[in-house]
């Protein structure tokens, strides 16, 4: 039995995960923590590329690093590729066209599907690391144009910015981060828009998705939900 289980585990599809060069702690629930997953993952760091650079810059160094990292993961035998920064969605088609495995750079890729599930009068709330940095390249180029969105960024939440964007602290106060993320989610819900669901753009918010949902009472989608959905397509159950 042990041999069979071991053999089955070896045959499971592997997800490759691109990571910016970060020093902050990856707690359970974070996409960058391998213990978050009940599926095989491997990581490849974009050396010298900080979260702040991914979010606020769009240059040849960042672009080529993202492409190269994806190709390395493909060479290592992964069956699909994702990232720990939703702002890499600006290179979604470029990365997916550079490899021969599925690529899903951001939880925002779920937005069109969620939109078609909701009442036509509903909006989708997007909680993002930076509302100021989101532009047409993130939205229109990935099928999010003409979808009614309500955006809320963490731009004015200093502790969140210091830890996850400026990458200035290794260990952090989880309760303080949770409080900021919940406050932002409640602000989003109370923004006057008729929200039908919320999507967490930032993968560092996933550890708090349960708390967010408990406070806003809406469906909440994130990279964790997208990862599980993608993996379900890579490995199917046998019913007979």
Average pLDDT in the 55-70 region? Answer: 92
Q: Residue 10 has what pLDDT?
A: 55
pTM here?
Answer: 0.91
pLDDT band at residue 97 using 50, 70 and 90 as cut-offs: very high
Identical topology for domains 2-106+226-234 and 107-222: yes
**162 DSSP assignment:** I
For the chain, the first-to-last Cα distance in angstroms comes to 20
Architecture in CATH of 2-106+226-234: 3-Layer(aba) Sandwich (3.40)
pLDDT digits (tens, 9 = 90+) for 187-200: 999 988 799 999 99
Provide the mean pLDDT of the chain.
92
Q: What is the pLDDT of residues 118-162, one digit of tens each?
A: 998 999 999 999 999 988 777 877 888 889 999 999 999 999 999
Instruction: Write out the two tokens for 39.
Output: 């599926």
| Domain extent listing, the chain | 2-106+226-234, 107-222
Strand order in 103-104's β-sheet?
41-46, 15-20, 80-83, 103-104
pLDDT (0 to 100) of residue 143: 82
The fold of the 107-222 domain, in CATH, is Rossmann fold (3.40.50)
């Amino acid at each position: 039995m042990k041999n069979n289980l071991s053999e089955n585990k070896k045959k499971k599809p592997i997800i490759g995960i691109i990571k910016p060069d970060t020093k902050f702690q990856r707690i359970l629930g974070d996409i960058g923590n391998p213990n978050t997953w009940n599926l095989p993952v491997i990581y490849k760091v974009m050396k010298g590329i900080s979260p702040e650079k991914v979010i606020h810059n769009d240059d040849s160094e960042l672009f080529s690093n993202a492409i190269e990292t994806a190709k390395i993961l493909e060479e290592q035998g992964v069956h699909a590729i994702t990232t720990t920064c939703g702002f890499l969605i600006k290179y979604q088609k470029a990365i997916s066209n550079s490899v021969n495995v599925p690529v899903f750079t951001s939880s925002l890729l779920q937005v069109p599907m969620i939109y078609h599930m909701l009442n036509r009068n509903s909006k989708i709330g997007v909680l993002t690391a930076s509302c100021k940095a989101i532009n047409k390249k993130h939205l229109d180029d990935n099928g999010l144009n003409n979808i009614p969105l309500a955006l809320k960024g963490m731009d004015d939440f200093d502790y969140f910015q210091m830890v996850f964007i400026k990458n200035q602290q290794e260990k952090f106060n989880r309760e303080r981060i949770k409080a900021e993320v919940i406050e932002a989610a409640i602000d989003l819900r109370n923004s006057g828009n008729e929200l039908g669901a919320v999507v967490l753009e930032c993968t560092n918010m996933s550890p708090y998705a349960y708390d967010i949902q408990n406070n806003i009472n809406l469906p909440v989608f994130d990279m964790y939900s997208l990862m599980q959905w993608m993996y379900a397509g890579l490995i199917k159950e046998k019913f007979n």
